[in-house]
């Protein structure tokens, strides 16, 4: 079956531009998570959803970052007025949503802000 799909795979943008990163979770997965991963580091939590409801956005660095999952399936992470420090791998993960269900990660979007 299909895994978690993220697009684009790579995104290069100029400082100050807005970007939208897309995540298509595994079909039937209730929970969807956004993480950011710096090279050589563990994934850093950004936000997550159960169905369409955003349950926790405490990891979003500032108000330039936002996420939505309007129909409880595909999610978009938007970064406004990008800065060079936003450059990173952005990973989406999904899970069945019960207490200890494992996370299934996508291949990520590598964002480079020039």
Partner 1 sequence: QQPVQSPQAVILREGEDAVINCSSSKALYSVHWYRQKHGEAPVFLMILLKGGEQMRHEKISASFNEKKQQSSLYLTASQLSYSGTYFCGTPEINNAGNMLTFGGGTRLMVKP
Alpha-carbon distance of 114 to 100, in angstroms, equals: 39
Shortest Å distance, C-beta 28 to partner 1: 16
Minimum CB separation from partner 1 for residue 59, in Å?
Answer: 8
CA distances from 85 to 10, 26, 29, 105, 112 (A): 16, 30, 31, 23, 9
14 or 98: CB nearest partner 1 = 98
Instruction: Show contacts with partner 1 in window 33-52 (CB under 8 A).
Output: 33, 35, 40-45, 48, 50
Which of 94, 76, 104, 87 lies closest to 37, judged by CA? 87
Q: What are phi and psi of 52, to 5 degrees?
A: -95, -5
Residue of the chain from 60, 67, 69, 108 that contacts partner 1 (CB under 8 A): 108
Q: Binding of partner 1 at residue 112 (CB under 8 A)?
A: no
User: Which residues contribute to the site for partner 1 (CB under 8 A)?
Assistant: 4, 31, 33, 35, 40-45, 48, 50, 53, 55-56, 91, 97, 99-100, 102-108
């Amino acid at each position: 079956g299909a895994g978690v799909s993220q697009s684009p795979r790579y995104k290069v943008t100029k400082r100050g531009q807005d970007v939208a990163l897309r995540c298509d979770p595994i079909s039937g997965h209730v929970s969807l998570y956004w993480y950011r991963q710096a090279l050589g580091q563990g994934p850093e939590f950004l936000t997550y959803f159960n169905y369409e409801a955003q349950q926790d956005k405490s990891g979003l660095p500032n108000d330039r970052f936002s996420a939505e999952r309007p129909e409880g399936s595909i999610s978009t992470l938007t970064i406004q007025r990008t800065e060079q420090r936003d450059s990173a791998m952005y990973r989406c993960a999904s899970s069945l949503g019960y207490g200890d269900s494992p996370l299934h990660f996508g291949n990520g979007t590598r964002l480079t802000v020039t």
